[in-house]
Structure 1
Amino acid sequence: MSRGHAVKVLHHRAIAPRREPISRLRGRLSQVRQNLRSGGLSTAVRWMPIDDRVVMTTVDEFQPKSLPSADVTIATYWTTAQVLPDLRPDHGAPVHLIQSYETWAGPEDTVHDVLRLPVPKIAVSRHLVDVLTDLGVSQDSITHVPNGLDLDLFRVRTDPAGRAPVIALLAHPSPVKGLDTAVDVLNRVRSAFPTVAAVAFGTQARAAELPDWVDYVRSPTPEVLVDDIYNRGSVFLCTSRHEGWGFPATEAMACGSVLVSTRNGGVDDFARDGESALLADVDDPAALADAVLRVLRDDALRARLREGGLAAVAALDWSESTDRLENALLTAAGLGTSPC
């Protein structure tokens, strides 16, 4: 918005089953109240600030008839990308922003077909660029735009060297996030290191499988996430089976936590085993627990990995990433490129 572009974000309206008319009605009334507020749906998004000038609204279905006119129409998920070939001329240039290899969310053949659609693609990681090229997508249609961080927000606020042994992690119920592996790792580490603590966060209610000794914060604000989770942790644990990128990992690293992660693809852009993180194979809780214990027990190793992590994420410049995204969209729309 600050660069002079008008932005409208469309969300799919979840319709309650017919057997739950009261819940559906309540949902509709809640949506009306949200749309009447200043900023519309942006007031419902608590995990990141939304510019008041961004128009956020809902549609019952993602079909051309439901979409507004634009210079560029961007799909951010495989189900919404299916409509891109059918856009009208007044919808502008179609662009598929690919943030994950979403076979975990749909039939693999169908997801592959969507990824192969003849529309310009923006991939947020080198790993996703490789996924696309392996599927036969022409490199000429792919633009790599790595994610950036707001390093004014995600930064060291407490001395990492003085932090207690605390493991921070995202606890998400989706199988792709590997919560079952994370719980196994936590229990193994706790057995070998009884004074260790842990703090997990997520957008949903506390998962029943989380051990009682693990603190849980639901839907933390950015400030709480930075101050009470990332800057509390000495280790950030990521057990995902696949990631397109991995924002929590980079955010935690920027706050001085040492990353211990699976080799999930998405971390490849910023995590180098033994340099900026410790990595283990997917679904290997013994190796992940061993890595966590090494970091907790070895002050020199922890300090070296922490500094390596800070250096790695320092290169993830928010403004540079925005420049590259803007240029990719202007190019797709045939409007030239930004002078930035």
Structure 2
Amino acid sequence: MRINFIVPPLGQSGGTMVVQRYVNELDKRGHDVRVYLPLTGLGLHRYSGKLMNCAHDIYSFFKGIIEIAKHPEKGKFVFSGSSRSIRDADVIIATAWPTAYLVNNLPNSKGKKFYFVQDFEVWDNQRLGLGSYQLPLKKIVISNWINQQLISNLGIGPFPIVYNGLDMPSESLAPHKDPYAVLMLNHSLEKKGIPYGVDAFRKAQKKIPTLHLTMFGLNDQSNLPQDLHIEYYQNPSQRKLNYLYDISSVFIFPSIEEGWGMTPLEAMAHGDIVVGTDAGFANELGRDKFNMLKSKPKDPIDMANNIIEVVNNNHLQTILRNNALNTVAELNWDNSVTRFEKLLQ
């Protein structure tokens, strides 16, 4: 098949990494795959004022230019999403709500139109985000939670689900696990619940002073409290991130809502105990006191109690760690790509 992916010019993220993995795996299977990154014309409409939206479009444009400079191998970069810029193909896939409008407006010669939905994207612009899911595109979602949101908010679905794959680590990069090392993702989106996770750690540290927190993320640490010592890594390499997973014992997953959640699953694969909310993957694969410890979203007290409990209970750690490893072992990229490929066909 000739397959075109359209990705937004917003830099690296978990979602774009998933798309890139599908691109690489489909290419290995003999498909003719091309990635298009439009540099103009998407318009996230994130702000109420026209001037701010214009400034954000300019910012996205230059961020796209940086992507080209850093990753020229990623695909074909175009300055617009016009029909002339995109080749004819068998399949064309939107990967975020602004790209859904672009794909919908292309002629049918560009291929069967799909929308790969990795989250319920209504934080930039609720009206346009919701509208994108009502476009006549074939949808593929990554979780039942996304289907639930589409059904309850728009009365559409359910759509085929393809869980994200996961790479199991071949070896540990750390000499041993630090029993008091806690790891957490940092993110600028409110729905990620970062203040609640930090607060939970702070409360747990008062009971166990030897606990220490490491965080990582694409953004800087300006959103984090200055009075709490946090070892921080901005945009770490995959090797460095794997080391952080390997040396840590607890991973905090404080999301209020989540399309899936790659990092806690990666942490499980490295033997970390996930203490988190019943959001994203945890709603489907997570079982409280079986393969993780769950709290309600926005409940740092309960989450702190779970951190304290697991750090002080070696027997519980063993149960959770073994069951978590068995859970993530069922997620592999070969199965995910096979299902994705069949849906495209």
TM-score normalised over the length of structure 1: 0.81
Q: Counterparts in 2 of 1:62-77, with a 5 A limit?
A: 62-64=81-83, 66-77=85-96
TM-score normalised over the length of structure 2: 0.79
Query: Does residue 223 of structure 1 match 2:239?
Result: yes
2:333 equivalent in structure 1: 318
Query: Does residue 114 of structure 1 match 2:140?
Result: no
Deviation at 1:105, TM superposition (A): 2.8
Distance, in Å, in 1 between the alignment partners of 2:122 and 2:52 is: 26
Q: Deviations over 1:82-103 (max 9, x none)?
A: 2333220221011010100112
Q: Deviations over 1:179-199 (max 9, x none)?
A: 211221121111111100111
Deviation at 1:67, TM superposition (A): 3.3
Q: Counterparts in 2 of 1:4-15, with a 5 A limit?
A: 4-13=30-39
Q: Deviations over 1:58-91 (max 9, x none)?
A: 434x454553322211111112112333220221
Q: Counterparts in 2 of 1:285-324, with a 5 A limit?
A: 285-324=300-339
Kindly indicate whether the alpha-carbon contact (under 8 Å) linking 1:240 and 1:282 is maintained by their aligned counterparts in 2: yes
Q: Counterparts in 2 of 1:32-71, with a 5 A limit?
A: 35=68, 42=71, 52=73, 54-60=74-80, 62-64=81-83, 66-71=85-90
1:283 equivalent in structure 2: 298
Q: Counterparts in 2 of 1:100-249, with a 5 A limit?
A: 100-107=119-126, 109-134=127-152, 135-139=154-158, 142-152=159-169, 156-158=172-174, 162-211=177-226, 212-227=228-243, 229-249=244-264
Deviation at 1:41, TM superposition (A): 5.2
Distance, in Å, in 2 between the alignment partners of 1:18 and 1:284 is: 35
Distance, in Å, in 2 between the alignment partners of 1:189 and 1:254 is: 24
Deviation at 1:132, TM superposition (A): 2.8
Distance 1:308 1:70, change over 3 A: same
1:338 equivalent in structure 2: none
Distance, in Å, in 2 between the alignment partners of 1:27 and 1:85 is: 25
Kindly indicate whether the alpha-carbon contact (under 8 Å) linking 1:148 and 1:320 is maintained by their aligned counterparts in 2: yes
Distance, in Å, in 2 between the alignment partners of 1:103 and 1:208 is: 22
Distance 1:14 1:291, change over 3 A: farther
Kindly indicate whether the alpha-carbon contact (under 8 Å) linking 1:258 and 1:302 is maintained by their aligned counterparts in 2: yes
Q: Counterparts in 2 of 1:18-37, with a 5 A limit?
A: 27=62, 31=65, 35=68
Kindly indicate whether the alpha-carbon contact (under 8 Å) linking 2:191 and 2:256 is maintained by their aligned counterparts in 1: yes
Letter paired with 2:32: A
DSSP 3-state at the match of 1:70: coil
How many residues matched?
305
DSSP 3-state at the match of 2:115: strand
Kindly indicate whether the alpha-carbon contact (under 8 Å) linking 1:249 and 1:259 is maintained by their aligned counterparts in 2: yes
Letter paired with 2:292: A
Kindly indicate whether the alpha-carbon contact (under 8 Å) linking 1:234 and 1:256 is maintained by their aligned counterparts in 2: yes
Deviation at 1:206, TM superposition (A): 2.0
DSSP 3-state at the match of 2:251: strand
Letter paired with 2:105: D
Distance, in Å, in 1 between the alignment partners of 2:91 and 2:54 is: 39
What's the RMSD between the two structures over aligned residues? Answer: 2.9
Distance 1:63 1:293, change over 3 A: farther
Distance, in Å, in 2 between the alignment partners of 1:325 and 1:104 is: 27
Kindly indicate whether the alpha-carbon contact (under 8 Å) linking 2:181 and 2:212 is maintained by their aligned counterparts in 1: yes
DSSP 3-state at the match of 1:310: helix
Distance, in Å, in 1 between the alignment partners of 2:222 and 2:194 is: 9
DSSP 3-state at the match of 1:104: coil
